[in-house]
Structure formats: C-alpha cells, structure tokens
Amino acid sequence: MSENNAIKAGGPAGESPGHGVNLSFFSRALAAVRRRVRPRLATADRCLRHIAGPSSFLSSLYYALFSRAFGREHRGVLAGRKRFAEETARPRGSSAFLRRSTHRLEKGLLMRPRRPVFGLDFIREMVDCYERALELAAGRDCCGDAELQWPHEVLAEYFKVVASHPRVDPLKERFSALPMPTNGDARATCVPYRRDLSTASPISYDELLQLSIHRRSVRWFQQRAVPREMIDKAIKIAALSPSACNRQPFEFRVFDDPGWVRKVANSPYGTSGYADNIPVMIVVVGQLRCYSEERDRHLIYIDGALASMSLLYALEVQGLSSCCINWPDVEERERELAGLMNLDPDERGIMLIAAGYPDPEGMVASSRKKPLDAIRRYNFE
C-alpha cells in the first residue's frame, strides 16, 4: 500500500489500516462514557454536599477527599505561616510581626483610661524583633531601615509612660542602649496624636458623591503612555487606606511594557475583547506571610480591596480611568499567573486593575447599583 493510501486508510505508512479508525472509535466511546457518567457524578456531588454541608467535620472531609478547590489556599496559608516565622526571626525590611506589635502598643497608648502597665504578653518578643531588625539594617541603605522609625518612637513613648514592672524594666534598659534608626523623617508623627478638628474636611460629601458617580469601569483607552509618576501618586494614596494592625499585606505589581501588559491582561477571564487595548495593568498581590494564624487568611482580600478602592479614586482625580478585573481561583490560571509573575507560594492574586487615559469615544456600562434600602439595615429592623 502506498503512503497516501495508508494515510487515507486512517494511519501512516507501516501501520495497520484500521489503526486510525480504532483511535477514533475509542475516542468516541470515551466521550460517550463521559457524557453518561458526568450527570451521575453531578448527582452524587449534590448528595454529598447536602450531607456534608451542615457539619464542619464532614465539610472538611468533603474537600479533603472529593474536591481540591481549596488546595492552593491551604498551601498558601502554610507557606505564609512558615515565611512569617522566618521573617520574625530575621526581620529584613518590613516585618509583619513588628508592624502588628507596634500597632498594638499604639492602641494601648491611646486607650482611655490608659492602663499603667500593658503589652506584657508581647513586649519582650517585640523588643527582640526590633533589636534584630536594627542589627540587620546596620550598614544598609534600604526602606526597611527607614521603617524602623515608627516602632522606635512608639517603643520610646511606651517605655516613657508605662509604670515600673519587673518584666518591663529590663527591656527598657535594653531599648535605651540601642542606637536610633537612620533614614527616618524627622517631620513624621510616629506616635498617637490628636487630630486637628478645628477645620472641616477639604472635600464635601457632594464632591465625593460626584467623584463616585463620575468614576466608571472603563475598558477603552487612548494609546498614550501613562507617566509612572501618576501611578506612584495613586499608590501613595492607596497606602493610606485602613489595614488590620497596619500590616498592609499587599503589593501593587505594575506592568506598563506593552509585551508584559498583553501577557498579564490575557491571564484572567474578564478581559476578552479588550485586552489589547489596555496601556497599564496593575496586579494586586496578597501576601499571607503577614499572618501567623489561619484565622487572618482573608485579610489579604479585605485590606487589598480597601487599598484598591483608594487607588481607583486617586487615578480618577488625575484624569486616568480604570477597570477592576476579577481574579478567579482556578488552578490552571493560578499556575499561569504564579509562573508569569514569579509569585512565592504564599502570594495570591487578589484582582487586576486596567488603567490609562480614557478613550472619549468608548462607551461604559451603566451598571445600575442596588438602592439604599436593599443594602442597608439598622439593628434588626
């Protein structure tokens, strides 16, 4: 049989004429089996969910045996706890433990009435961590060294006002012998203070309302380069957002190189049809290394979202528009983004934000919001 005839018969030269036919038969048979099995599996899954749903133990068993949907979160939380311990032992740059402890001392300082002695359950570990951070920062010109100004001043204020106590007094002596951190801002207020309420907010409610109405999710942008200074100014505003114990467990990874923008923009599901039109893509990345307990694992999403909303408004007032893009917890996409951005095991994508100068000819979705009565309830009325 000639090679052409062999190919027509369903296989390359030298193979059985029925080889391709057999492959096609088995492929169709497998597809038929899948079609038959899939509804039965779905029915079984519904039954399992119905049985396991009311029980915490059975719910955990269900996800351990029948679904890997939370597998990446489990790995991320454990990797984050490991990283937290490592960075507490060797606090280079920003230490989540040191930031949280500093904020806890701040709350003790501003309490009314202030207790004579407070912070006993963590003050030794805080001083240990601060001293290690100073040692590691010695001789380095880095942001971590400048960040030590905050814990230094809060510790100084704490030891100034706290009453004598056998667990505090030795730590006070140790602290007083430590050098002051360099690269700090002498003008910065790093201890609790009273706000000046003598003047009203420079922004009225109506102005904020108009800004909120004006800001829309924009998907069509002018093909103009966006100055990095504008992005940085927006991120500075985002950094002022509330954060649990001021740990700020997020980073804004900014892509403005066209090649990288295309790669990142095509990672989520929600950019179909306009990914090639995006000038700047910002990936909000949460870092589970900021927490030592599983109970705090959702804070990367809460704090990341608070900061992102401030970022959107800061972009808008500079003449830039934006569009929040949902990041789905789909393993295939997670692996792709982690590989593309070289994410550590404890880092999770929170959302993506497209940004740029809006195209005046581009339309935006109306996206009518729910009325006030649908989203607000006082007490249990």
pLDDT of 67 strictly over 90: no
CA dist 335 and 124 (Å) reads 40
pLDDT for 3: 43
pLDDT of 288 strictly over 60: yes
Q: What is the pLDDT of residues 2-17, one digit of tens each?
A: 444 444 444 444 444 5
Provide the whole-model pTM: 0.85
Is CATH 3.40.109.10 the right assignment for the domain spanning 205-356?
Answer: yes
- Which contacts qualify for 255-258: CB closer than 8 Å, 24 or more apart? 255/280, 255/281, 255/282, 255/283, 256/225, 256/226, 256/228, 256/231, 256/280
As a whole number, mean pLDDT of residues 218-234 equals 97
pLDDT tier for residue 189 given thresholds of 50, 70 and 90: confident
Sheet holding 280-287, edge to edge: 250-255, 280-287, 347-356, 321-326
Residue 355 and residue 280 in contact, taking contact as beta carbons nearer than 8 Å: yes
pLDDT for 186: 67
As a whole number, mean pLDDT of residues 364-378 equals 96
Task: Please give the mean pLDDT across all residues of the chain.
Answer: 89
As a whole number, mean pLDDT of residues 250-279 equals 95
pLDDT of 202 strictly over 90: yes
pLDDT of 30 strictly over 80: no
Q: What is the pLDDT of residues 295-323, one digit of tens each?
A: 999 999 999 999 999 999 999 999 999 99
Q: What is the pLDDT of residues 107-118, one digit of tens each?
A: 999 999 999 999
List the beta bridge partners of residue 356: 321
Q: What is the pLDDT of residues 80-105, one digit of tens each?
A: 999 999 999 988 767 899 999 999 99
Buried b (16+ CB within 10 A) or exposed e, 179-197: eebeebeeeeebbeeeeee
Q: Where are the domains of the chain?
A: 3-65, 73-176, 205-356
Considering only residues 320 and 38, tell me which one the structure prediction assigns the higher pLDDT: 320
pLDDT for 65: 86
For residue 219, give both structure tokens.
């998907």
**Which positions ≥6 away from 297 have C-beta within 8 Å?**
73, 76, 77, 80, 288, 291
pLDDT over 90 percentage in the chain: 72
